[in-house]
Amino acid sequence: MDEYNRFVDWDKMDVTVQSQDAKELTCTEFQELKQLARQGYWAKNHSLRAKVYHKLISNIPCRTVTPDANVYRDIVVKIVGKRNSSSLPLPEFVDNSLVPTYCLNAEGIGAVRKIILCIANQFPDISFCPALPSVTALLLHYSKDEAECFEQVCRILACNDPSKRLIDQTFLAFESSCMTFGDLVNKYCQAAHKLMVAVSEDVLEVYSDWQRWLFGELPMVYVARVFDVFLVEGYKVLYRVALALLKFFHKVRAGQPLESDSIQQDIRAFVRDIAKSVSPERLLEKAFAIRLFSRKEIQLLQMANEKALQQKGITVKQKSNPKLVLLLNYCFSVFCIVFFRQNVHLAVHAENFKSEIVSVKEMRDIWSWIPERFALCQPLLLFTTLEHGCSLSRFYSHSEGHEPTLLLIKTTTKEVCGAYLSTDWSERRRGGNKLSFFGTGECFVFRLQPEVERYEWVIIKHPELATTGSEPENHASPSSSTLASSSVPSDPSDRLSPFLSARHFNLPSKTASMFMAGSSECIIIGGGDGQALYLDADLNHGRTSHCNTFNNQPLCSESFQISVLEVWGFRD
C-alpha cells in the first residue's frame, strides 16, 4: 500500500482513500490552505493526508524542549516493559471508556495505549485531556511508526502560542469550554437549546458532552475531515462542528419521543450513527454556514467563563503527587456535578424564590437564556417598587455594585416584559451629566406575557451588519502566530475586555449598540429609531417600540403604566 499503512485495517477504511491518485500540496498561504482543507483536497488520498498532517503539525510553535520521536524510543521499553499493550492501564486524565479504535488493526490498538502512557510520562502537568485517545488514534493511521505519532501528538500538546488553542489539558479549560459551548448553543441553536431545556434534567451536563461527540462518537471518516480543517483553522472549528451536530440532531429528532430515557444518550447514539443522516461534507457545510463570533470574541467568552470558575475556587494547576491529582480530579468532578451543573430547576428553587411579577417556571425560562457563567448563580432580589418605592434614585442605589442584573416589569394590564443587562448601572456616570449608552452585546430584552419572545443584539443574528474591527477572521499563515491581535489588551482596572463589547466591531452606526442608558430623568434600554424600553423618573410610566439595537417588536402596549418593577441580581 504505502509507508503509512502499518497500523491500518484497510477492510475498515473508506475505500475512496485507497483509490485516488497521489497529489502534491505546495501552497503555504493560509487562505488557500483553508479552502483546500474545507474542500477535502487531501482527504481522498491516505498518503497525501499523512504528509499534510506532518507538515501542518511540524509548523506548530512549541516549547523549546518538546519530546520527539527519539525520546519515545528511549522511554517506551522502560514505561511499557513486557506488558501486553492491549491491556495497559491508561492515565487518570483520560476516560478509559473512550479509546476509539477507528480503523486501526490490532497492533495499532495496542500502540495507542503505549503512546498515551509515554505522553503522560512527559507531560505531568496534564490533569484532564479526554480528547487525547481520539487524537492519538487518528494520527496513528497517518504515521510510519509509534515514535512519529508520539512526536506529532506531543507537538500539539506543547503548542506555546498563547493565541492558538488546540486541546484542553486541564479541568478548568475543559469545564470552561463546556460553558462556552452552552453559551454558543443558546445564541446560535435556540430551537435545540429550547428542546434541551424542556427534556433534560441538566442542560449543562448535556453540553459537557460536546467534545465526546467529536472525539469519541463520530465515525473515523468524519473525525478525519474535522481534523483536516482543525489543523488549519484551530479550536473554533470544533465549536462549529459540535453546533452543526446539535442542529442536525434537532432537525432529525424534533417532535419524536426520546429513544432512551436520556437526551444525552440519544445525542451520542445519533452522532455514532450520523452516516444514516448526514455526509461528512454536509456536516462541514452546515458547520461553516454558522456565522460564529470571531476568534477574539470566543477567546474573551472562554476567559470570562474560566474566571467565573476560578472565582468559585476552581483552579487546577501542576501537581506532582499522583494521588493528590487523582483526589483533586475526583473532587472537582463531584463539585462540578453537584454545584456548577445545577440546572435552572436548582438555580431557581421553588421554595426560595418569590416574585410578584413572574412565576418559578417563568424565571426558569429566563434563567435558561442567560450566559452560562451566571446560570451558576441563584437569583437575588435587589429592588422592588412594592418595597422600595417608585424612585429612580433608589433603583440605582440598590442596583449599583451588581453586574449583571435582570429587570422585570409588570404593567397594570398584566403584561410582563424585561431585560437582561450586562453592565453595572454605575457605568452611567462615565457620561457625566449627559445621557450616554453603555453595556455589551450580551444584553437582551424579552416579553413573557401575553407570549414569550426574546430579542438579542441584532449583530448576533445578523453579523453581516458589522465586521470585527480588531481581528480579521483569518489573516496569517498557520505556522505563524495567527491570533496575535486577539490577545486581550491590558486594562488599567485589571478587568478583561468585555465579551461582545461594541468597540470590537465596526458597526454601521451607533444605534446598533445602544444597550442601556440611565440618568436622573429616565432609563432607556435599546435605541435607534425607537427604544425597546423607556422608563420615567417615577418608575410609573413607560414606553416600548421597535429599536435598531435589538430589532425587537414592542414588548407590551406601546405606552404603559407600571404595576410592579423588580431588579434581580445573581448570588454566588
Inter-residue contact 25 to 48 (CB < 8 Å): yes
How many C-beta neighbours within 10 Å does residue 130 have? 17
Alpha helices in 123-189 (DSSP H): 132-140, 146-157, 171-188
384-409 residues labelled b (16+ CB within 10 A) or e (exposed): bbeebeeebeebbebbbebbbbbbbb
Residue at grid coordinates 444584553: 443
pLDDT exceeds 60 at position 338: no
Write phi, then psi, for 421 (nearest 5 degrees): -120, 120
Please give the pLDDT value at position 315: 57
What confidence tens digit (pLDDT) does each residue in 481-499 have? 322 323 333 333 344 568 8
| Closest among 472, 158, 462, 441 to 295, alpha carbons compared | 472
What confidence tens digit (pLDDT) does each residue in 261-301 have? 789 999 999 999 999 999 999 999 999 999 888 888 898 89
Alpha-carbon span 373 to 183, nearest angstrom? 9
Residue at grid coordinates 469519541: 216
What confidence tens digit (pLDDT) does each residue in 401-452 have? 999 999 999 999 999 999 999 999 999 998 777 889 999 999 999 999 888 9
Three-state DSSP state, 543: strand
Cβ neighbours for 412, distance < 8 A, ≥ 6 positions apart? 560, 561, 562, 563
Please give the pLDDT value at position 135: 97
The CA-atom distances, in angstroms, between 129 and each of 16, 152, 170, 301 are: 32, 16, 7, 21
Cβ neighbourhood burial of 29 (10 Å; 0-12, 13-18, 19+): exposed
Alpha-carbon span 181 to 242, nearest angstrom? 8
Alpha-carbon span 390 to 24, nearest angstrom? 73
Inter-residue contact 383 to 566 (CB < 8 Å): yes
What confidence tens digit (pLDDT) does each residue in 455-470 have? 999 988 888 887 544 4
User: Which amino acid, one-letter code, is at 456?
Assistant: E
| Closest among 525, 362, 375, 567 to 451, alpha carbons compared | 362
Q: Note if the bond before 450 is cis, omega within 30 degrees.
A: yes
Inter-residue contact 388 to 541 (CB < 8 Å): no
pLDDT exceeds 70 at position 173: yes
| Closest among 203, 217, 289 to 247, alpha carbons compared | 289
Give the model's confidence band at 51: pLDDT under 50 very low, under 70 low, under 90 confident, else very high.
very high
Alpha-carbon span 278 to 356, nearest angstrom? 48
Three-state DSSP state, 558: coil
Inter-residue contact 116 to 149 (CB < 8 Å): no
Alpha-carbon span 462 to 505, nearest angstrom? 13
Please give the pLDDT value at position 327: 43
Alpha-carbon span 229 to 236, nearest angstrom? 10
Alpha helices in 254-359 (DSSP H): 263-272, 280-289, 295-311, 322-335, 344-347
Inter-residue contact 408 to 355 (CB < 8 Å): yes
Residue at grid coordinates 406601546: 558
| Cell numbers standing for residue 216 | 469519541
Alpha-carbon span 451 to 556, nearest angstrom? 10
Residues of the chain above pLDDT 70, percent: 86
Q: Note if the bond before 404 is cis, omega within 30 degrees.
A: yes
Give the model's confidence band at 480: pLDDT under 50 very low, under 70 low, under 90 confident, else very high.
very low
Residues 541-558: what's their mean pLDDT? 96
Write phi, then psi, for 518 (nearest 5 degrees): -155, 145
The CA-atom distances, in angstroms, between 554 and each of 8, 189, 491, 542 are: 61, 24, 38, 12
What confidence tens digit (pLDDT) does each residue in 214-240 have? 999 999 999 999 999 999 999 999 999
Alpha-carbon span 448 to 358, nearest angstrom? 9
What confidence tens digit (pLDDT) does each residue in 87-113 have? 788 898 986 667 899 999 999 999 999
Cβ neighbours for 87, distance < 8 A, ≥ 6 positions apart? none
> What are the beta bridge partners of residue 159?
62
Residues 131-147: what's their mean pLDDT? 96
Cα-based torsion angle of the residue sequence 230, 58, 297, 455 in order, rounded to the nearest 10 degrees: 0
Give CA 50 to chain center in angstroms.
29
Write phi, then psi, for 516 (nearest 5 degrees): -155, 145
Task: Give pTM, 2 decimals.
Answer: 0.84
* Pairing mode of beta strands 437-438, 416-421: unpaired
Alpha helices in 142-257 (DSSP H): 146-157, 171-188, 190-199, 203-207, 210-212, 220-233, 236-253
| Closest among 446, 404, 343 to 571, alpha carbons compared | 404
Count the alpha carbons within 13 Å of 377 in the hemisphere toward its beta carbon. Answer: 22
| Cell numbers standing for residue 396 | 440605582
Alpha-carbon span 338 to 101, nearest angstrom? 33
